[in-house]
Amino acid sequence: MKKLEKPQDSKRLVISIVLWTLGLIAVLLVLFWDEMFAAESMKIFTMKKPVEGGDPEVLHGFKAMGYWMSLNYGNLIFTVVAIGVVALFVAALNLLGRYLKVKNKKVATTLSLIFSLLKWTFIVAGIIIVLTRWMPTQMKAIIASIGIIALIIGLGCQTLISDVVAGIFLVADNAFEVGDIVVIDDFRGTVTEIGLKTTKLEDTGGNIKVISNSSIHTLVNLTNCLSLAIVLISIPYEENLARTETLLLERLKTMQKRVPGLIEAPVYKGVEDMADSAVILKVIGKCKEEERFQVTRDMKRDIYIFLNENAITVPYPQLTITQGPNPADHPEWVDKEKEEAKAEKEIKKQQEASKLTEDINDVK
């Protein structure tokens, strides 16, 4: 048995057990309701079975359910088969969309939209077919008044329609494709799926965010052009800036060999800032957006090795502590402190005597 690794897992397990227990109790109550309650008014499964030449027989409980199933076994089998076919088709589409790897992003985006359209079309068609089987007369009337139903659905599902229309325009305008790295509402992630209603993004931590297509107002596509890997280098003010720049330019010419993710050789942009304890130099390199963080790390590593090889120090916060002289080494200080303390006592006595004299004069 798999061990529970997180507190959330145990919480989910408890919730699942409680829900399954409540569901089982509900099923048992439904099945044995008529057997538990003898009063006629409490019966919920009641059917009348026609009897030739006599009054119809009243059936309760399992007998009523069995008689009803004997009358509708054809519809039941058809419903089970229809649900199975729809579920199998949807599962096949999901499986195909998950494991079908297409290198062309445009094709992948189109397939994602087609899969979503086929899935919902098949689900809606399955529901209509099953309802037609059970309620042929009612469904004919519904289909005949399909215009009114469409109007009601349009008024009640404005958000859904907006999502679908927005999804179609996003694909038609080629705003982004499956596999692109985008920023939507300050969430940065890779587009994994574009559906009729929602778009799914996955960030570097594997978190999935589902965004309604109609709520996508601002979008930044980071895949359309090369991204910049920026490295800031700190050198102390005591270091020779001209020498450092000359050595750094030579190093950048060959850095692309050591950092394969760089599309072009990095460029030295000059002095970025003169901070409190260091001069900040700026180096940028161009790379793909999906490799930007790793390329930045590799560039920092290569520059650190370069600084060590050329004995260029990197400033870091330092604390200097200065220890004062020890009074024990200066006995004359002790005598001076004693004299100052004695003088303070004499001053206090004089102040008290003066105050006493003033009080006596006031009384007189």
CA distance 217 to 220: 10
Q: How confident is the model at residue 38, as a pLDDT?
A: 59
177 inside domain: no
For the chain, how many structural domains are there in total?
1
257 inside domain: yes
CA distance 98 to 115: 11
Q: How confident is the model at residue 282, as a pLDDT?
A: 94
Q: Which two tokens stand for residue 8?
A: 């959330």
CA distance 149 to 155: 10
CA distance 78 to 130: 8
SS (H, E, C) 295-343: HHHHHHHHHHHHHHHCCCCCCCCCCCCCCCCCHHHCHHHHHHHHHHHHH
318 inside domain: no
- C-alpha separations of 261 from 78, 188, 297 in Å: 58, 20, 11
Q: Are 94 and 111 in contact (CB under 8 A)?
A: no
Q: How confident is the model at residue 3, as a pLDDT?
A: 45
Q: Read off the pTM.
A: 0.45
265 inside domain: yes
CA distance 244 to 315: 14
286 inside domain: yes
290 inside domain: yes
Q: Burial letters for 29-66: b for 16+ Cβ neighbours within 10 Å, e otherwise?
A: eeeeebeeeeeeeebebebeeeeeeeeeeebbbebbbe
Compute the radius of gyration of the chain from its Cα atoms. Answer: 41
Q: Are 227 and 262 in contact (CB under 8 A)?
A: no
Which range of residues forms the domain containing residue 271? 227-309
CATH code for the domain of 252 = 3.30.70.100
| Short-list 214, 198, 363, 227, CA closest to 299 | 227
183 inside domain: no
Q: How confident is the model at residue 139, as a pLDDT?
A: 57
Q: How confident is the model at residue 2, as a pLDDT?
A: 43
**Residue 125 amino acid letter:** A
Q: How confident is the model at residue 170, as a pLDDT?
A: 73
Edge-first strand listing for the sheet containing 279-287: 227-235, 279-287, 267-274
CA distance 244 to 271: 12
Local mean pLDDT, 10-residue blocks, the chain (364 residues): 51 81 80 63 67 70 72 83 88 78 69 77 83 68 59 62 73 74 83 81 83 81 82 89 90 89 89 88 88 90 91 78 67 64 77 70 58
259 inside domain: yes
CA angle, corner 117, sides to 114 and 120, nearest 5? Answer: 145
CB atoms within 10 A of CB 357: 10
* Contacts for 240-248: CB closer than 8 Å, 24+ residues apart: 241/271, 241/279, 244/281, 244/310, 244/312, 245/281, 247/306, 247/310, 247/312, 248/281, 248/283, 248/303, 248/306
Q: How confident is the model at residue 173, as a pLDDT?
A: 67
Q: What is the DSSP secondary-structure string of 44-83? A: -SEEEE--TTSPPEEEEHHHHHHHHHHHHHHHHHHHHHHH
